[in-house]
Every structure is written in C-alpha cells, then in structure tokens.
Structure 1
Amino acid sequence: MTPYTYEYPRPAVTVDCLVGSFDGHRMHILLIQRDREPFQGSWALPGGFIGIDEPLEEAARRELAEETGLKMEKLAQFRAYGDPGRDPRGRTVAVVFYGFCPWENRQVQGGDDARQANWFPWDAVPPLAFDHEVILSDFRGFLRREVKVVPFGQELLPKKFPRSLLVELYTAVLGDRRVGEELAARVVRLGVVVETSPPARGKVGKERWYRFDLRQYRVWQKEGFPLVGSGRGSRKTSTRRKRG
C-alpha cells in the first residue's frame, strides 16, 4: 500500500447528461435505450463510468458523444446523486451535467452500449432506469426557478426570433402561459433581448423581432435579475446562489 492509498471502500463514479432542446412549442430531453443489464431495454439519461485519469466534464462529453453521437462543448455541473441503493450493481455516485442543444442540431444515433437515442417531450417521458426520473424531476424544478432569476434561451432560440417564440419557450419551461408572458416582457424591459430587423427571408408578418444582447445577457447571468419591485436600475439580486 502506498502512502496515498486510502483504506476506505471506494464507490464507482459515473457521469450522466441532461440535454434539453426546444422545438418551438415543447421542451424535449435526450434519452438512450440501454442495451445492457441492468435495466436492459429501458430508457435512461446518457452516461457511464469515468476513466481513472479522466476529468468529470470530459467524461460527460465523451459518454454523450459515444452513446448519442452528439458533441457538446458546453456542459455545466448540476448535482451529484449517491443514494446507496440507486444502482443494483453496487455503490455508485453519479455526477450529473446539463446543457442545451438547438433543435436544428438534434440529430442523434445510439452507439456504444446504447441501443438507440431519441428525444422525448418533457410531458411524455417513458419510465426511466436507475434514479433518472428523480434526476429529471429535480432538473425541471431547478430550471423553472432558474429562468426567473437569470437569462435563459440563448442556446435554444435562433439568432433572430419573434416575441411569441420567446413566450413559447418560457411557457414550455414554466408550464404557465401567463407567467411565460410576464417573464418575456420582463427580459425585454431589462434589455436581455433587444428589437432587431426581421430575417430577410420567409414570412415575418407584423410581429416585432428580437435578438439576445449578449453583453446584457452576461451581466444579468452573473448578477441575477433584480428582485421584482426593486427598480430597473437596481443591482439587488435574488437570493439565488451565484456560480463561481
């Protein structure tokens, strides 16, 4: 035994990936159908075991690419799940990452130990393996809170979009059109999105078109939106914990 070897039992460490997309009306989640036991034939989040010398985020990107063909550079750490009974193979701790994929880049294909990969609407997800239903439920709750306090949608909407599409996105996440309308109006007031010219091609009608102001997007992403009623110019933020 070397001086750096611990005598304690060591759980296996895995990574799982929550990848969301938006088709213009509904939010979708990317799932794979397992081709191995346990839970062979069941749907699950993409993921797997990390390599001994592999950083966590790198492992998440690798597993996502191997099992779905989807390559994503931008993933953020969500939470860790370590209930002793979560995996029938033994003690595992899963570190979960999340990211968002534009709908036009949604092409996926099962690979490695995934029989197939597919997108499912959030309200039509099949039974999931392991504790992945809990993970997905936690993530949806997290996102419903998150969109109210920081900018959201840059990865999901086109460069130019009508206000109605912004409302649809927020409604899809929040499950409430009235709140979606209010939130869309608020991000316009805060300058997260600004009015722009309509696209050169296609039918645009009379609706106003917007784009994200990336400078303001980053400002509010760092500081958090001001509390309701604190004034537009206030930098007083929500009680949300800031990211490092």
Structure 2
Amino acid sequence: MELLDRNGFTEREFLEQYRAGDYERPSVAADMVVFTVTDRESDDYGKLAEKELRILLIRRGGHPSLGCWALPGGFIQPDETGEQAAARELYEETGVADVYLEQLYTVTDPGRDPRTWVMSSSYMALIDSSRFQIKAGDDADDAAWFTVSYRLLGEHKELLEEGYVRTFTYELKLGAGEGELTAVIDRTVTAKPASRSVTYSIRSNDGLAFDHGKIIARAIERLRQETEQTGIALHLMPKLFTLSELQQVYEVILDKELPEAAFRDKVAGLVAETDHYTENTLQHASRLYRRNWEED
C-alpha cells in the first residue's frame, strides 16, 4: 500500500500540486581558483630557474564589475553537476581542459552579487601550465596568469567569558605585468565550549570582482594545508622533473624554505626514479623523476 502524508497525498499527488515558485530560489554559480607554477624570467642561464605560484584570472567584459578581474566561472545549468559546470566554464573561458579539480566550499553570503541572490560552488584546479595556451572566452576581455603573494600582517585575540575570538589579517597581492591587484582579508576564528566557526571578511579590495578575494584566500590556505599533508603539488609538475624543481614548487606554495634532506624524505614515496637526466650543459646532469602512481 502506498504511503500517504499528513494531508492524505500520495507522492505522485504531492508532486502534482507542488509549486516550486512558492519558495525563492538562488542562482548557483561555479567558480574556479586555477593554480599553476611557472619559471621566473632570468638572464642567468647557468642557474636553476626560480619558480612562481600563479593564479588564472579573467577580466570581466560586462557588468557588474566591468573591467575588474575575476575567477573563471559561470552559472550551473539544470542538466549538469557543479563539477561539470566548473569544467565546462573553465574550458569555455580559457581553453583549459582535463585538470585536477576539487571542491573548496559553497559561498552563501547574502548580497555577494548585485544582480540577484547568487550562491557559488567554488573549486580549486591545479595544472601544469606548459600543457595549455590560455585564451579569453566570449564574455571576457582578457585572461592572464597573476603571481600570488599571501602574507600574514598580524593577528588579534579577544577573550570571551568562555572561549575566544582570534582574527588573522592577511594581505593578498596578485601581479601581472606592471599591474597589481590587492586585498586585505580577515580570517576570524570564534571558539566556544561547544562550537567553533571560521569566517572571512574583506577589509579592502582593489581590482578584484565580487567577493573573489575571499575565495582566493581560502584556496591558498587549502593548497598549503594539502601540500603539507599530501602529494597534491605533483599535479602542478610536468611528466618528468628533478627533485630540486619539485622542492621549489613546495617552497613557493608554502612560502618558506625547506631543508633539502627533510624534503627528500617527505616525498620519497610520492615519486619514482627514471632513467632520464637533464640536458643542461651548464650544470651537472640531474636525474629526472616522475609521479609514483602506485602510491597515488
């Protein structure tokens, strides 16, 4: 016997009379924080090229935030998942496909988009930049890689009757050519006996669209955390690489120098030796490594 609800409806009868328009519904977007690591330009050809962490941004070609730089993204369609929308929008706006993609979090702050109620499912993507030629899509004026700097400026702690509120203030700098985008972002941790919450707020913003500075800050923190704990940074590497190159990638992500011996112990199970060596005639040849898929 089919079950009836409290109004005496079967499921079919309930769905026939259900009116979705009785409830206000948000638009849902998918936004991507796309990271890569590139070699810094240098005139010293006898020295190992230094690495730079970069993020992909799109200059908006329409309102709102016309002319500002934004994360690649767009609205999720009814016939696709958030992951499918993220991959589609990334390819449409930049020509980038088949990359590492993981969900960051869902952004639900009221008033974050002046057009309407918009929630965002944000994602982090990691790519080897040598595989792709970035291009801007139809709804963007330009696409560019920006260098990333995310530094702690200070912190403040306030004690509660039970618990505390601690605010960390960060400076986000994104550079491309002669231009620089900046934002100052607070990460506030509220700890009480039975709860703990983390919120982000923007103190100042110069050149970034919407609340994308907060999304970028969360992505950098996630990337740093996972780099410390996992082999996620290998998604930024080419097929073959030296251990020195991999160490540089770890260092630019974590924004600190790492002892060589400790680093090599850390990644020993994540990489595998190959029979190939570098062809740099100005230095001694270095063995090339690959990702160890058996440990993935």
TM-score, with structure 1 as normaliser: 0.80
1:112 maps to 2:138 = yes
Counterparts of 2:95 and 2:288, CA distance in 1:
33
Counterparts of 1:165 and 1:86, CA distance in 2:
39
Counterparts of 2:279 and 2:260, CA distance in 1:
28
1:131 maps to 2:211 = yes
Q: What secondary structure is seen at the aligned counterpart in 2 of 1:153?
A: helix
Hey, what does 2:290 align to over in structure 1?
Answer: 211
1:195 maps to 2:273 = yes
Q: How many residues align?
A: 215
Q: What secondary structure is seen at the aligned counterpart in 1 of 2:247?
A: helix
Hey, what does 2:186 align to over in structure 1?
Answer: none
Counterparts of 2:279 and 2:209, CA distance in 1:
45
Hey, what does 1:228 align to over in structure 2?
Answer: none
1:4-23 matches, within 5 Å, as 4-6=18-20, 7-23=22-38
Structure 2 residue ranges without an equivalent (≥5): 1-14, 40-50, 150-172, 175-180, 182-206
- 1:166 deviation in Å? 1.1
1:14–1:49 CA contact under 8 A, matched in 2: yes
Instruction: Return the match for 1:67 from 83, 93, 100.
Output: 93
Q: Specify the code of the residue in structure 2 equivalent to 1:12.
A: S
1:33-182 matches, within 5 Å, as 33-72=59-98, 74-123=100-149, 124-125=173-174, 126=181, 127-178=207-258, 182=262
Deviations 1:59-79 (A, max 9, x none): 111111221222235422221
Q: Specify the code of the residue in structure 1 equivalent to 2:66.
A: Q
Pick the structure with greater CA Rg: 2
> Are the structure 2 counterparts of residues 2 and 183 from structure 1 closer, same or farther at C-alpha, using a change threshold of 3 Å?
farther
- 1:55 deviation in Å? 1.8
- 1:54 deviation in Å? 2.1
- 1:87 deviation in Å? 0.7
Q: What secondary structure is seen at the aligned counterpart in 1 of 2:232?
A: coil
Counterparts of 1:181 and 1:89, CA distance in 2:
53
Counterparts of 1:181 and 1:95, CA distance in 2:
39
Deviations 1:143-162 (A, max 9, x none): 11111111123322122221
> Are the structure 2 counterparts of residues 45 and 193 from structure 1 closer, same or farther at C-alpha, using a change threshold of 3 Å?
same
Counterparts of 2:18 and 2:91, CA distance in 1:
33
Q: What secondary structure is seen at the aligned counterpart in 1 of 2:33?
A: strand
- Higher RCO (C-alpha under 8 Å, 6+ residues apart): 1
Deviations 1:51-103 (A, max 9, x none): 12222111111111221222235422221101002111121100012211212
Deviations 1:14-38 (A, max 9, x none): 1101111111401111110001111
Two-structure CA RMSD over aligned residues (Å): 2.1
Counterparts of 1:160 and 1:42, CA distance in 2:
37
Q: What secondary structure is seen at the aligned counterpart in 1 of 2:228?
A: coil
Hey, what does 1:186 align to over in structure 2?
Answer: 266
1:160–1:210 CA contact under 8 A, matched in 2: yes
- 1:206 deviation in Å? 4.5
Q: Per residue, is there more strand in 1 or in 2?
A: 2
Structure 1 residue ranges without an equivalent (≥5): 219-244
Identity %: 35
Q: Specify the code of the residue in structure 2 equivalent to 1:167.
A: Q
Hey, what does 1:226 align to over in structure 2?
Answer: none
Counterparts of 1:137 and 1:185, CA distance in 2:
29
Q: What secondary structure is seen at the aligned counterpart in 2 of 1:137?
A: helix
- 1:181 deviation in Å? 6.8
